[in-house]
Structure 1
């Protein structure tokens, strides 16, 4: 007489295994949600060679990092308001007093920027500031026009007494207001960059230019009436 082998696995065992898998998955998702900017897709590495954690930027991109050469994509010369003449492209102003980490933020933003606006300007600038070490935590303000206040009050930035975005030095964070959420961008040697690039500053109302400085700036001197 043949006997049929019995399956000793009980339904309760399968339920326990399934529950354990769901708990582990939920914990992993929760970790990613709480730290959206420390993800491998954005270049973050907990055990990378870079002290900042952004090893992929420090080791595989050009700009200020000295890694493999990868030139930023060309700036758009007409992505502001269609049909509006913005005049000559503003000359980039250098100021030796601007902290070098601000220049690094601009370099990171240059490489990450999209060809066109994604309406995520403040998010892209936040990530560039974090990656460069310009700020030591992820800024929490929601709207772009709130950026200046948070950078000054929480991160020790200085509001530069310049009167227009065209006079903001390379490395500064330029904030604009208006009826909506506003706009924010970094000044680089090539133009203005946030989630996308442009040779001209935004046409929105200018709130101010902000930066971390190492000493009283020359370009932002209040004794210069031309700024």
Structure 2
């Protein structure tokens, strides 16, 4: 028991404690960043991936036909192949963008805070000039990482973007070759445009298949790798 020695009725020890200022540091709670638009809902991309792969296959066959008819066939057959490629391209582009948007929304369910671009850019990123040179690749990388299964300790496995980079380089080359061939470039550019188109389509098909499989595995077996 301490004897009061101050005029306020406090002992020396209590008076010293009372004189010291109390500093309270409150740390703000981290708030999750809300995603723009309606809440993300998980939907299977498997059916759409089959449609994309089929159209990419038709597109590739069309490019092969254009190369063959341009070198060994008649001009009439070559012109017919060019006319068919137009509708196939638009059907493939629209279906691919729908699939791309769906896997992007699914990835937001798996990792809500792992995306640097909003889901609306999964469409507009392909359409808006200039940004279409890198926005889709950025969205593809974030979606790829978010769709990977976590290790037993909760950490993310090392990510490799090799497939995405190959696809994106081939796609950029195919666009450069296409616009160059339409701008009065030598005939060699026309053949190179078709070859770049084929390489881009094959790389895109591999990307579609692997990313769809990643998300399908997450849905069927869970987000974490089972411990051995």
Q: What's the TM-score, normalizing by structure 1?
A: 0.27
TM-score by length of 2: 0.27
Larger Rg computed on CA atoms: 2
More strand by share: 1
